[in-house]
Copies of this chain bind each other. A is one copy, B any other.
Amino acid sequence: MSDNILPRGDLTVRTIAMPADTNANGDIFGGWVMAHMDQAGGIAGVERARGRVVTIAVEAMTFIRAMRVGDVLEVYTEVESVGRTSMKIHIEAWAQRFQTQPSRQGDGRDFHLCPHRRRRPPEPIPPI
């Protein structure tokens, strides 16, 4: 993947990788990136569904390169499609390396979310 590809969707989460987020390799813990992607999916899902949502499935993720301490993580989201009781959100994570040239792609994939209902059948997603 070339670095001149632009991120797709809206910037939904932006944060910096800290030493507390490293794994035993000294790189940023992959689960930290996944957790922020899930968080971004939740933010985007709530806005579209106008109510709380829950992640029910994640399609494939690819990690192009490891993040390091000081890198800025950017997660972009775009609602891809909306069904009656679930929606599909495209999520991309980008990393901007500390002190170097612009941002480059981390990975891309889709998250499926549905409105959050405890013990009740899922509720329809309202039209825009």
B66 touches A57 (CB 8 A): no
B55 touches A30 (CB 8 A): yes
Complex: A14 Cα to B16 Cα, angstroms = 10
A25 touches B39 (CB 8 A): no
> Which residues from 21 to 43 on chain A have a C-beta closer than 8 Å to any C-beta of chain B?
21-27, 29-32, 34-39, 42-43
Q: Given A13-B15, A14-B13, A99-B46, check contact A52 B24 (CB 8 Å).
A: yes
19 interchain pairs, CB-CB under 8 A: A13-B15, A15-B39, A16-B39, A18-B23, A19-B19, A19-B24, A27-B54, A29-B39, A30-B42, A30-B55, A31-B37, A34-B38, A46-B98, A46-B99, A54-B63, A56-B62, A57-B61, A58-B61, A60-B60
Give A contacts to B, CB under 8 Å.
11-27, 29-32, 34-39, 42-43, 46, 50-52, 54-63, 66, 69-70, 72, 98-99, 116
